[in-house]
Amino acid sequence: MGQINLEGLGAVQETLIIPLAMRALDLKSKRPILGDERAARLYEEITYSDKKFAPKKSPSYYGCLKRAGYMDGELIRYARELHAQGKPFVTVNAGCGLDTRGERIAGATYGAAHYDVDFPNVIELRQRLLGESATALGSDLLEGDWLARLASEITPETQVLITIEGVFAYFTLEQIQLLLEHLHHYFAGRCVLVFDALSSFWAGRSKMHDTLKHMEATFVGGIDSEVDILRLLPQAQFERKKAVVDLMAEVWWVAHLMQLTKKMRESTQIFTFRL
């Protein structure tokens, strides 16, 4: 099979190249942060214009890698908790792109089913590259069909652990609210949601972003704190949050300087909620 050109997937869909390329670059490092071998192999099977995006060790490089590892860890945290309680659960990577989260966490989720969700053309691409089918759901996240299918495939007692990574920055607050309401409608009282969100300050500055500035997609939504989410869905229960810059500081000295400025430190945060 020849290389697959990602251009033409759609403005937002094409951004899946960013985390994939960063993970491939990471594997070439002397000290990999995430160490995602499957991502590196996938990256060799696709092409994309280096005028739009070429991976380098920029702030987004460290942010993508540490964000992914933290979100993996959050799913594993709740998987262990639910397993200890004897409760069934599934994990879901919504807006998955070409992420291999299901493989990365498989050894720590006790055989639970893992679902990947993205636009139909992205899921088709995943199936061509990864051979997935049974638990890959092709849908716009804002439509309810994927949630209806997921709900139909699990029992009413099954807990749902969902990550939404690198997505909300492309959603308006109204769209985020719609998705949260859909999730609450289908899985109220049994859903944990882990997502990252760009601050409102940086959401309006897409062309200053180190990876997005030459791409067609733009940021449109910003979340500054858990209060913003509670305004959108008052029934949500805030669990915790983590500034991505704080995670970056674990592996990159420059991030310590970024921590000194509130706008930089809180530029992207990862939130965990129960719905």
Domains of the chain and CATH, by start = 4-274 (3.40.50.150)
- Tokens 């995602």 correspond to 36
Per-residue model confidence (pLDDT) at position 14: 83
Residues 51-63, mean pLDDT to the nearest whole number: 83
Per-residue model confidence (pLDDT) at position 10: 78
| pLDDT beyond 60 at 208 | no
Lowest mean pLDDT among 190-194, 212-216, 226-230: 212-216
Residues 61-87, mean pLDDT to the nearest whole number: 97
Q: How remote is the C-alpha of 25 from its chain's centroid?
A: 18
Q: Residue 265 in contact with residue 245, Cβ under 8 Å?
A: yes
Residues 80-91, mean pLDDT to the nearest whole number: 98
Collect all residues with Cβ–Cβ distance below 8 Å to 233 and sequence separation of at least 6: 177, 180, 181, 184, 275
**Global confidence as pTM:** 0.93
132 pLDDT band (50/70/90 cuts)? low
Q: How many angstroms separate the Cα of 226 from the Cα of each of 196, 230, 269? A: 11, 6, 10
Per-residue model confidence (pLDDT) at position 218: 67
Collect all residues with Cβ–Cβ distance below 8 Å to 139 and sequence separation of at least 6: 117, 118, 119, 120, 145, 146
